[in-house]
Amino acid sequence: MSARYLTLPVTPDLAGREVDFLLRKTLGLSGTVLRRVKWLEDGITLDGTRVTVRARVKEGQTLSVRLTVPERTSGVAPAEGPLDIVYEDGDMVVLNKAPGVLVHPGHGHFDDTLGNFLLWHYDETGDESDFHPVHRLDKGTSGLLVVAKHPHAQEKLKNQLHTGDFRRVYLAVCDGCPEPPEGVIDAPIGMAEGSLVARCVRPDGLPARTRYKVLEGGPRSLVELELETGRTHQIRVHMAHIGCPLTGDFLYGTEDRSLIARPALHSHRLELAHPVTGERLTFGSPLPEDMKKLIERRITMGKNEKRFEVIHQESSVMSASSLILRDTVTGALYLFVQSGYAGGLTPLLGADGRPLVGHPD
């Protein structure tokens, strides 16, 4: 199995320094990482000879530290399974996750997760790396996910989370259209009473902020979202909170497997600094087919679809697929009711039988 080492040539300005100083200050390794490897024969070496962290270096020497360890400690068992690898090097791997696949092994899922599949891939390629996840995606969410190959890379990447160095941009299809079309949802999230799984917006919850922008509006809208915090189910909870739950969300909206078999959420773009080199990296994943179909199969209101705007939606009273629309040209009001892929517009009439115009009372 191949190991990953980090090396540092000793230049004149570094000569005379203690190994501990160079490992921590120059290479940026933490005490936790060093404690894992310093007991290994090749954990910390100078010109191939094992040294302690108190040794002092000389110009021209090469300091080396081992980043991976020979024995895996994650407890994840390798298992063969499909992987869509977007990027891989000695420190990290970026995956394009399929919907319906768990990231971590857990109850009832011990050999069918990305963690299992990734360790199988490492074994097949002679890589001794272990499973070091940096962030997570819900089972139903598709798209980009970064996994570290060793503890040092995991620490560096996790420290970037919720900062400008690590950007996570999602695409979602929601029922209804957020208003205003661009903004920030700043609403604390906590556990929903009576549930071990569901979250909700509540005053005593943890701070949560989500930026959103409507890319294509309508009775069903395509929205771009960016996380500023990383609460469980954050996007799903926030979108439901503003009255536009994700299409297909069984927990926070309305499940309709004839439309899509999961919440319509996709990790679309990742931007981060490489954990070792510091290089800025950007990765993208296009909208998957099941979400494309939601947009393509929206009820088309003729060539003038964009003339209609959503002016009334109450999730607690009216289902997310029942909306009041206004024709922006004539002002006429319509009731839009959708069932599966089918649906249609019904003009709203006043007591005198004439079309209502403007906003309903």
CA 281, CA 214: separation in Å to the nearest integer?
26
Residue 80: CB partners within 8 Å, gap ≥ 6? 117, 120
CA dihedral 336, 338, 341, 342 (to 10 degrees): -70
Beta strand 209-216 with 142-148 is unpaired
Which residues, at least 6 apart from 175, have a Cβ–Cβ distance to it below 8 Å?
Answer: 219, 220, 244, 245, 246, 247, 253, 254, 320, 321
Q: Rounded to whole angstroms, how far apart are CA atoms 225 and 131? A: 28
Element (H, E) at 115: helix 114-124
Strand partners, 269: 169, 284
Residues 91, 127, 138, 249: which is the catalytic one? 138
Query: What is the Cα–Cα distance from 87 to 343, expressed in whole angstroms?
Result: 42
Please say if 127 is a catalytic residue. Answer: no
What positions carry a catalytic annotation? 138
